[in-house]
Each structure stands twice: as structure tokens, then as C-alpha cells.
């Protein structure tokens, strides 16, 4: 790879040299965080939260961390942090001055951490080498794992991910590769499924379930009357998918050829085919507010059946109400 392209790839400022081939042994790899990744607000927020957590935990010992990249590599702070979190004493020297003794201390601490987290060395996203070499990503992975294990209520920013550039020394020269590193879980309020009205109804107001069923059955029978059909039992009569398909066709203006579904299904597989087709039609029309399993409908699950019919009811009952309201009349 040309030197100029390495500058562009790593977005290195002037005066900072990109890695030379002789700095990496053949087959060796090194990860770099470009400035855009380092300046990502969520990435900076994660470091801030973790530093505040460490400093609060180690306040009685008068230890202050100012940089996760520079202060964690020698095992000293990790030693104190883990002992306090796990409430145990590690057989490691308190002060390690030489690189060899620091590395030994770090090895003892990380072995104890991995045992506590029930991780094998190959499963961990950190190692003695990466931590000792001040690999910020490995340090963050380690601290996030410790926080989740010993301080699960710590409010870490969610879905923190950064672009990473890996440089590898090969026979033909330096090879670069971009990837995305996920540091915290992808979980935000907007990613959570919306609250289902029928979960709440069945849980908090079961006495009202029959009233809701009756209203929906009346609506369905009004629409099916012109086909000479009627529903008496909402829980059971939609299980084979036939009435559901005919109702959708009637309301949404679909013409379903008899070759597309089973008018008189004689097996669970044929019933499942019908219900699956019906759910696909509803999904295409945007009438499924919550995921519904076709197996649940076939198995006569009342809550799932209500979910399916409720979308049709809301759309077409409201439409009929609007059409029947004189213009200019107040709502």
C-alpha cells in the first residue's frame, strides 16, 4: 500500500508517521482508531461514564483515572478495581516498576477477571498483550464486561460502535482493512417493540375482553353479511384462515382466486397456508401493528386473533364513521 493512501486511510495529522512495514513482523497486525472514531460523541461518552465509575469506586483509595488509554495498561488500577468489585484479595505485588513485573501483574489480574466472568482466554475480547500495549478498544471491552458483571445498573450509552482500521504486514506489503467494532449492546427505547394493547387488556382488564370481542364480531358480521356468512365464535372460526381471507378481500378489495387458498381446508398444513397468506396481505397493507405467528391463529389463540382483526376494525370502522358524519359536524 502506498504511503499516501495510508495517511488518507488513517486520517493521520501532519507530523504523525503511519506504521512502517519493519514495525510489524510479517503476519503482525495493529488496530488504529481514526480521529472520526475517537471524536464520536457516544464513544467519548462511554469513556467518560467508565472513568467516573472507576474513580467513584476507587475514591476510598485516592486513585484517580484521567485516561483509560494511558492509566490502565500496567495492571495497577485494574488490580485495585477488581479487588474492590469482587471483594477478594489477589496474590500480586502492589507496585510493579519494570515492564516484566507489570506484565506479570496484569496477567494475574486478567486471569482472575476471566475466571470471574466465566470466560476462557480465547473468548475474551482482550488479552495481556493488547491491554499492555494500550489498545483502547480492548480496554473498553474489558471495562464494559466488568461493569455489566458487577454494576449492572450502570447507565452505559447504548449501541456504541466505531470504525476501526487494521493494518497487517504481509509478504506483499502492508494490507489495510476497515471494520466496525461494537462496544455496547444495541438497545434503545425506540428499538423496543411497541406496547401491545391486547397484552394490557388481557392482563389489566380481563373483564373487558368479551366486550371487545363482541364489538369486533358485530363489525365482522356487518361486512360478511353480503357473502351470506356470519361469525358466532371469534376464538375458533378464524383458525382455518378462510373467513379471515374472505373478510380481508371484502374490506380491502382483493380478489382471491380459489387456487390461492383452501376454501375447505382439511389439514393443519392447509389451515396454516391460509392464515399465512392472510397475514402477508395484512402486513403489505400496514395493518399489523405487532408481529403475529400464523401458528397461534391456527391454534385458536384468542389474543393473536384479536390482534389481527383489530387492525381491520380500526381502519374500516373509523372510515365508516367518517363517511357517515355530515360535513362540518363536530367530532
- Whole-number Å distance between alpha carbons of 206 and 20: 71
Which position has the grid cell 383458525? 239
Cβ atoms within 10 Å of 204's Cβ, excluding its own: 8
Q: Where is 10: in which H helix or E strand?
A: helix 3-10
Residue 170 C-alpha cell reads as 504481509
pTM for the complete prediction? Answer: 0.52
The C-alpha atoms of residue 26 and residue 308 are separated, in whole angstroms, by 61
- The residue ranges of the chain whose pLDDT is under 50 are 1-7, 9-18, 20-22, 188-194, 321-331
Contact 234, 217 (CB under 8 A): yes
pLDDT of residue 196: 60
DSSP reduced 3-state for 173: strand
How many Cα atoms sit within 13 Å of 327 on the Cβ side? Answer: 0
Q: Which pLDDT score is estimated for 3?
A: 42
Q: Angle at which helices 302-324 and 268-284 pack, to 10 degrees?
A: 40
Domains of the chain, earliest start first:
25-182 (1.10.418.10), 197-318 (1.10.418.10)
| pLDDT for res 243 | 93
Q: Which residue has the cell 351470506?
A: 228
pLDDT of residue 97: 75
Q: 44 Cβ partners below 8 Å, 6+ apart? A: 38
Amino acid at each position: 500500500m502506498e504511503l499516501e493512501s495510508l495517511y488518507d486511510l488513517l486520517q493521520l495529522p501532519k507530523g504523525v508517521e503511519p506504521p512502517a512495514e519493519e514495525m510489524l513482523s510479517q503476519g503482525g497486525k495493529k488496530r488504529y482508531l481514526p480521529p472520526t472514531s475517537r471524536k464520536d460523541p457516544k464513544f467519548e461518552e462511554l469513556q467518560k461514564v467508565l472513568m467516573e465509575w472507576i474513580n467513584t469506586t476507587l475514591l476510598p483509595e485516592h486513585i484517580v483515572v484521567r485516561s483509560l488509554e494511558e492509566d490502565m495498561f500496567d495492571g495497577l488500577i485494574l488490580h485495585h478495581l477488581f479487588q474492590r468489585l469482587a471483594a477478594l484479595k489477589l496474590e500480586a505485588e502492589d507496585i510493579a516498576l519494570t515492564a516484566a513485573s507489570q506484565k506479570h501483574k496484569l496477567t494475574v489480574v486478567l486471569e482472575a477477571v476471566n475466571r470471574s466472568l466465566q470466560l476462557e482466554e480465547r473468548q475474551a475480547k482482550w488479552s495481556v498483550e493488547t491491554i499492555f500495549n494500550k489498545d483502547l478498544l480492548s480496554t473498553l471491552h474489558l471495562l464494559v464486561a466488568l461493569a455489566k458483571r458487577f454494576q449492572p445498573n450502570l447507565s452505559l450509552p447504548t449501541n456504541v460502535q466505531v470504525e476501526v482500521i487494521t493494518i497487517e504486514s504481509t509478504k506483499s506489503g502492508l494490507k489495510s482493512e476497515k471494520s466496525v467494532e461494537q462496544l455496547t449492546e444495541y438497545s434503545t427505547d425506540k428499538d423496543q417493540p411497541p406496547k401491545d394493547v391486547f397484552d394490557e387488556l388481557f392482563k389489566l382488564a380481563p373483564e373487558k375482553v368479551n366486550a371487545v370481542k363482541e364489538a369486533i364480531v358485530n363489525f365482522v358480521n356487518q361486512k360478511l353479511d353480503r357473502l351470506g356468512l356470519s361469525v358466532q365464535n371469534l376464538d375458533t372460526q378464524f383458525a382455518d384462515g378462510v373467513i379471515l381471507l374472505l373478510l380481508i378481500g371484502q374490506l380491502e378489495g382483493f380478489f382471491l382466486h380459489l387456487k390461492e387458498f383452501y376454501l375447505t381446508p382439511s389439514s393443519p398444513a392447509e389451515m396454516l397456508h391460509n392464515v399465512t397468506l392472510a397475514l402477508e396481505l395484512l402486513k403489505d397493507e400496514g395493518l399489523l401493528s405487532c408481529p403475529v405467528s400464523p401458528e397461534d391463529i391456527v391454534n385458536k389463540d384468542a389474543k393473536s386473533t384479536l390482534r389481527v382483526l383489530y387492525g381491520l376494525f380500526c381502519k374500516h370502522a373509523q372510515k365508516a364513521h367518517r363517511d357517515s358524519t355530515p360535513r362540518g359536524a363536530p367530532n
